[in-house]
Structure formats: structure tokens, C-alpha cells
């Protein structure tokens, strides 16, 4: 792809890997980096998809599976893939209406769209693609670009509950990038399912990148709002068991997570459950914290079976 056409995430996503892309690439299997080809790529917690889009612009990826258990996220990916122009048209409408208004009217419009988005979910057909999918994807992208801090957070009922962000120029519609993402998704399977579903699609030498909701690095750090159910330690243990299963099948497994030893803690949770894997610690910026003074450089883990 030409430089201007390189795809990048069309959604802001907590825990996105944009800042670690070159580090992640350096941890790819030598066979893949040397050949420039990933025969089969799987990402079971796709989120914003930063690493996938990065790889698509630098490697040949003839087959890919993007999996997430958030139905609205997978819906949005499907709409970008199948109907980019109709989505762009709808987003431009929102952008024009939002940007021409003053602050109070912008806030009212934001909450109006948020109420529609949450209400629509109750009886929504996530199985049959229709024009309503385009409308819902446009709602999601609009809310994502105009909400506070670019968060995606659901409450226990499954409602999106992030307040208005009040950005002067939020950039609601990036038409060029939506088209580039649509092209990148052309040969990609989009699946709404639990992360364990990836075992149905792997083959020997597949590359699976796991970027699960991070384990809190402190007692007060508990952001798990990507889905309404969260991701407790029991899920981290289930994921570790799956990684061992895939490794035994000849699959390349790469995983990122928080380092439980941050902030001086003597917690070796991941060192224990991934014993025998290669574990490296890298520095990354912590961007989400209600206390701005606690945003900064922390250690993250990159774990691989090769």
C-alpha cells in the first residue's frame, strides 16, 4: 500500500498497541520476519486492531481471523469491510451537524445519540446484515470520537456510559482511513466469539496474537469495561491454558499483558502461569488513569512460546 493508504485503527481503544508496534514486530518469529509472510494470522481480542493493520501494511497476510466477544465492535468491523461508502456518508452527516453547533448543543446531541445507541441494542439483530448495521456502526464511531478520553466502557447492564468529551475538532469521519481499513479487511474473517474460538481456525505455523484486557497493576486500577463481564484472574488462567494447548499444536503464540510487578509489587502471577514461555518486559506509556499524575512509563509483558 502507498503510505497514505496504510490502514490504522478507526476506533480509539483502551489498551491499544500503537505505541508498541515496532516492539511487537521485533518479537515476531524469525521465520515470519525473514519471509515477510504470515500464512494465517489470528487476533482473538482484536479491539482497535492496531497490530493487525500494522502487519497488513508490511507483510503478506493471505488469511486472517479477527475475533472479539463484543458484538458491536465486530459489527463495526463488518460495516467498514462491506459498506465503507455508506458508513462515510452517515459519519459526514454526524460530523457536519455536530461541529457547526455550540458546546451546549453539542453535548445535547452527544447524549441523544448515546441514548439511541443504548436503546437500539435491546432488540437489535446482530445476525442479519442490514442498513441498521450501518446506522449502529456510525453511532459507535461518533460516540467513540466525541466521548471523554476516547474510552469504550460498558456498565453492568451492557450500556455505553462514557460522558461527553468536549473536543473542539474530534475528527469524526476519516474517510481515507475507512477506505484503507476496508481494503485491509477484504480477506479477513470477522467473528464474534470467546477468545477460545480461535482453536477452530489455527493450523501449524499460524501466528496468534493475544492482547486481553490487562490485569490491574494496582489495587485501585480496575478498568475492565470493554465488555460488561470483565476479565478476572480465572479468565487469565483459562487463556494461559489455551496458549499451552496452541503451543503444543505447533502454533506461534504471542501475548501482551500488564506486569504485575509494577509499582513495587512482588506479584509473579504471569511468570507462574506462563512458566516455560519466553517472557520479556518492555516499557510503555500508561494512558488511562483518572489521575493524570499516574500516567507514565510502566513495564508491560511480551510472552511467546518461541
- Enter the pTM of the model: 0.91
Q: What is the pLDDT of residue 17?
A: 86
- In this predicted structure, which of 21-25, 80-84, 297-301 has the lowest mean pLDDT? 297-301
| Average pLDDT of the residues in 150-169 | 93
Q: What is the pLDDT of residue 19?
A: 86
Q: In Å, what is the CA distance from 85 to each residue of 2, 56, 82, 178?
A: 20, 21, 9, 9
The CB-side HSE value for 203 (13 A sphere, CA atoms) comes to 7
pLDDT bracket for residue 282 (50, 70, 90): very high
Largest CA distance in the chain: 58
Please name the residue that has the C-alpha cell 478498568. Answer: 223
75-176 fold: Adenine-specific Methyltransferase; domain 2 (1.10.1020)
pLDDT bracket for residue 267 (50, 70, 90): confident
pLDDT at 207 over 60: yes
Domain with CATH 1.10.1020.10 in the chain: 75-176
Q: What is the pLDDT of residues 101-132, one digit of tens each?
A: 999 999 999 999 999 999 999 999 999 999 99
Domain with CATH 3.40.50.150 in the chain: 3-69+193-304
Q: What is the pLDDT of residue 217?
A: 66
Classified as helix, coil or strand, 135 is: helix
Q: What is the pLDDT of residue 54?
A: 98
Q: What is the pLDDT of residues 125-143, one digit of tens each?
A: 999 999 999 999 999 999 9
Pull the grid cell for residue 100. Answer: 457547526
| Average pLDDT of the residues in 142-153 | 94
Q: Is 3.40.50.200 the CATH number for 3-69+193-304?
A: no
∠ CA 45-47-53, rounded to 5°: 100
Q: What is the pLDDT of residues 17-37, one digit of tens each?
A: 888 999 999 999 999 999 999
Amino acid at each position: 500500500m502507498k503510505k497514505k493508504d496504510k490502514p490504522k485503527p478507526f476506533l480509539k481503544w483502551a489498551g491499544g498497541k500503537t505505541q508498541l508496534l515496532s516492539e511487537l514486530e521485533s518479537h515476531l518469529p524469525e521465520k515470519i520476519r525473514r519471509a515477510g509472510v504470515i500464512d494465517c494470522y489470528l487476533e482473538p481480542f482484536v479491539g482497535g486492531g492496531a497490530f493487525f493493520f500494522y502487519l497488513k501494511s508490511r507483510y503478506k497476510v493471505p488469511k486472517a481471523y479477527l475475533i472479539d466477544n463484543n458484538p458491536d465492535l465486530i459489527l463495526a468491523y463488518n460495516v467498514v469491510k462491506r459498506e465503507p461508502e455508506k458508513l462515510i456518508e452517515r459519519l459526514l452527516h454526524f460530523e457536519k451537524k455536530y461541529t457547526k453547533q455550540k458546546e451546549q448543543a453539542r453535548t445535547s446531541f452527544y447524549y441523544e445519540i448515546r441514548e439511541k445507541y443504548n436503546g437500539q441494542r435491546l432488540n437489535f439483530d446482530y445476525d442479519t446484515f442490514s442498513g441498521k448495521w450501518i446506522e449502529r456502526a456510525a453511532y459507535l464511531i461518533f460516540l467513540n470520537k466525541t466521548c471523554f478520553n476516547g474510552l469504550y466502557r460498558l456498565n453492568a447492564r451492557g450500556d455505553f456510559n462514557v460522558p461527553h468529551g468536549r473536543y473542539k475538532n474530534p475528527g469524526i469521519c476519516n474517510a481515507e482511513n475507512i477506505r484503507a481499513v476496508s481494503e485491509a479487511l477484504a480477506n479477513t474473517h470477522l467473528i464474534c466469539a470467546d477468545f477460545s474460538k480461535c482453536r477452530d481456525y489455527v493450523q501449524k505455523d499460524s501466528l496468534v496474537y493475544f492482547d486481553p484486557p490487562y490485569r490491574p497493576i494496582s489495587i485501585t486500577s480496575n478498568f475492565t469495561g470493554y465488555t460488561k463481564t470483565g476479565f478476572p484472574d480465572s479468565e487469565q488462567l483459562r487463556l494461559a491454558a489455551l496458549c499451552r494447548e496452541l503451543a503444543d499444536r505447533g502454533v506461534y503464540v504471542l501475548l501482551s499483558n500488564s506486569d504485575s510487578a509494577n509499582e513495587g509489587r512482588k506479584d509473579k502471577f504471569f511468570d507462574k502461569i506462563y512458566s516455560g514461555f519466553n517472557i520479556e518486559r518492555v516499557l510503555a506509556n500508561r494512558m488511562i488513569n483518572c489521575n493524570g499524575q499516574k500516567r507514565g512509563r510502566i513495564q508491560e509483558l511480551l510472552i511467546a512460546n518461541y
